[in-house]
A and B are shown apart, each in its own frame.
Chain A
Amino acid sequence: MTTSTSAPVTAPSKTAVAARTKGLRKEYGSTVAVDRVDLELPEGAVLGMLGPNGSGKTTTIRMLLGLVRPTQGEIELLGRPLPEGAEQALPHVGALVEGPGFHPFLSGRENLVRCAAFEPLLPRKEIKQAVEDAIERVGLAQAAHRRYRGYSLGMKQRLGLAAALLVPRKLVVLDEPTNGLDPAGTREIRKIIGDLHAAGSTVLVSSHLLSEVEATCTHVAVLHRGTVVAQGELTELLQAGGSALQVITPDVETALSALRQAKISARPLGDGLRVELAGTSAPQVIETLVQGGARVFEATRWKTGLEELFARLTEAEEAERGMSAVDTLDGGRR
């Protein structure tokens, strides 16, 4: 499948955007990390950013936050162009990028106090309370007094999340927030994202957990080899992924020939057939089958899951040879 050349599946957006990139490209020496990324993050959306290892998620997020200068392209963050508007936009943005970063010799609480001291929107008097609230929110109250050095992976991740949530934000950017979290932690992240969404914040979350994305996100963007290969509302994308009818029948041969005559595409699958619903409808298919003499035991609408969509968009032919290769742009050009 040549996803890099096919036109991206893009559902058009109508609402205001919290962030937008145009023709974004980043080169590290001779490595092209990201190329032609046009991303749109609608206000109030929860955008899940998906993509194999090395597909450019973190690089894109870094550019969105002004941490990395794009080689080419434009970025607009909360209505301001970057990098000029960074000082106006960034106070409203909370971020957890590429794992949490804190000082090992300070306790979790002291680390947050230091972060808070640099938050422009936080008045001096409210620092203490904001820190306690954030600690409470990520469930770190028991460990807040301990040195960061001794934190477990999940505790570190939670502290990173707490730093992103110190101030009420318009946009929260989370790069693999569930990395290293236990199931309860993953559920809590889901709840935190839900709360942010309910409070009207926009959330950008990159993740490898497709089920989490499916459960929490309203929008998705799929990156592959440094480019966006699909983006839009989750439901629309899944629908655009095509729908089919799973038919259980013992008379596979009869059914296939009947459908072929009616110019409906189908193929054998399991105990029956998978019938594509492009250009036709479920009642019509069943009518054709019954009239053709095939006994239909069961017919179910087959909906594309995110898992399948993701696989179709990103999995390359080489997937059979052991572990799939990392997903860099250069790899694609070799």
Chain B
Amino acid sequence: MITRQFGSEVRWMLRRPRTLIGLFGLVLVPIIISFGIWTASDEGEGGGGPPGLGAILQGNGMVVPIFTLFLSLNLLLPLVASIWAADGLAGEAQHGTLRGLLVAPVSRVRLLFVKLFGLTAMSLFAVTLMAVVGIISGTAFLGNDGMMTLSGTTLSTAEGLVRIGLFILLVTFQMVAIGAVALAVSSATEHPLVVQAATMTTIIVFQVLGQFTSLDWLHPFLITTGFPGLIDVMRDPIPWEQIGDSTLLAGCYLLIGTGLAAIRLVTKDS
């Protein structure tokens, strides 16, 4: 029964026009990035000055997916997660379909898990899709001589793929954590836009707060503080400490978000 509900949920999300448009937009990011690097490398050769970004990355197509996800995690991926979370509960309440699900019946806690599953599955799908397109377009534009790490070593293509896989999982987890908090907001309103606005405002405010050294004490609690540390997957060997901290922090957000959403949903009138 639960697998059938999971399946129905994912199918429903995939059928939404805005999901398809969103996925299409996400796929453009790695393509634009590879293209940008490629044109930069052309100019670098012509000018004869210091080697540009493109020159450094020549033959390094494998960093494109990492670079893409790393950039997107700051704004684009939280936005997508917040849209899915918004449609999941607030959107269903707005259309009156939440009532239908509840009298079917789906217990409220289970409904939350169905929503969380949909969010996770779709996040993983979106992030993987971006990475795969990144690998392909990166290789096409820049070539592939293995992955150059930030520590200066070069990994084989197979090892590089493992690193990309790891990064996919880490980024997805951050996205799901943000989505879980967005679900908590989503359970408390009938207006999907409120959910998106609240989530994005929070992410941006967190990033601004992260710039103030006077607020040092606050930084360990901001989920956005954990984002930069994830790039450690590109070091050789991988220093796990920052990655661990970021993931732990995201885990806390996930638990708190899910908990709040469950409490709200169970007592909600609909």
> What residues of chain A have their CB less than 8 Å away from a CB belonging to chain B?
62, 65-69, 86-87, 90-91, 93, 95, 97-106, 110, 113-115, 117-120, 124, 163
Known contacts being A69-B267, A114-B12, is A102 close to B107, with CB within 8 Å? no
Q: Are A163 and B100 interface neighbours, CB within 8 A? A: yes
**In the complex, how many residue pairs between chain A and chain B have their CB atoms under 8 Å apart?**
73
A110 and B269 within 8 A (CB): no
Asked whether A105 and B4 contact (CB < 8 A) given A66-B102, A163-B100, the answer is: no
In the assembled complex, the Cα of A118 lies from the Cα of B17 at a distance in Å of: 23
- Jot down 18 A-B pairs with beta carbons below 8 A, ordered by A: A65-B103, A67-B269, A67-B270, A69-B269, A87-B105, A93-B103, A98-B99, A101-B96, A103-B97, A115-B100, A115-B104, A117-B5, A117-B7, A118-B5, A118-B100, A118-B101, A120-B104, A124-B4
- Chain A facing B: main interface SS: loop
Neighbouring A residues of B107 by C-beta, 8 Å: 86-87
Question: In the docked arrangement, what's the CA distance between A154 and B15, Å?
Answer: 25
| Contact present for B103 and A103 (CB under 8 Å) | no
A66: B residues at CB distance < 8 A: 102-103, 105
Contact (Cβ within 8 A) B17 A105: yes
Q: With contacts A106-B15, A110-B15 known, is A101 near B105, CB below 8 A?
A: no
Residues of chain A with a CB closer than 8 A to B270's CB: 67-68
On whether A118 and B8 interact (CB within 8 A), knowing A90-B104, A90-B105, A110-B15, the answer reads yes
Question: Does B102 contact A104, Cβ atoms closer than 8 Å?
Answer: no
Residues of B contacting A114 with CB < 8 Å?
A: 8, 12
- Please pick, from B4, B7, B16, B103, the residue contacting A95 in the complex, using a CB distance under 8 A: B103
Residues on the A chain within 8 Å of B12, using CB = 103, 106, 114
Say which residue of B95, B96, B104, B267 sits within 8 Å of A118 (CB atoms): B104
Nearest Cβ distance between residue B12 and chain A, in whole angstroms?
Answer: 6
Contact assessment for B97 and A102 in the assembled complex, using a CB-CB cutoff below 8 Å = yes
Name which residue of chain B comes closest to A120, CB basis: B1
Within 8 A of A (CB), among B77-134: 95-107
Given contacts A67-B99, A99-B96, contact A86 B16 (CB under 8 A): no
Tell me the residues in window 34-87 of chain B with beta carbons closer than 8 Å to chain A beta carbons: none
